[in-house]
Amino acid sequence: MLKNKFKLILILITILIIAPLIIFFIKGMNQKIEYKNDQYGFIFSLPKSWKGYSIVFDNWQGYSIENGNNKFVEEGIIILIRHPEWSLSEPRQDIPIMIFTIEQWNMLQGDKFHIGAAPVGPSELGRNNKYVFALPARYNYAFLKGYEEVEKILKENPLKPFDVK
């Protein structure tokens, strides 16, 4: 009887020591890297393989649809999250995040202007109190190395907006 109690105590102690180590190891494997942008108000989660990523700022431009004049009328920022293995000789697929004010987004949705030649517009990733975050239409049309990984990342809804002042 004492021998059985001793075995049970030994098993419980082993479980109490090993279980947290296993949980810690599993969590470490699934840990994400976060890019936080306080200016526009969002956090973007990336897999650990993107450690060392860089941020590139670019611009989008919107053109009038009225009277077929194709006149420049709006502009905004695109934030490109760039894979650490990206190089000039072997570019990889960026994760582009277009930034619109809510007014710009509403104008775009109301066909007051267009962006690019695609027959569809950008798709919304999220929004906060001031901005709408969107993925450009045909962002991956070149099928650069890593485009499948970017598609997988985007399916996990990695953008988490928060309100800004």
Question: Per-residue pLDDT tens for 12-28?
Answer: 566 767 665 555 555 55
Residue 43, strand partner residues:
36, 160
How many helical (H) and strand (E) elements, i.e. helices and strands, does the chain have?
Answer: 3, 9
pLDDT (mean) for 62-66: 86
pLDDT of residue 21: 56
Give me the phi and psi of 11, to 5 degrees please: -65, -45
Q: What is the pTM of this model?
A: 0.81
Confidence of residue 72 (pLDDT cuts 50, 70, 90): confident
Pairwise CA distance, residues 48 & 24, whole Å: 16
Average pLDDT over residues 136-152: 93
Residue type, 130: K
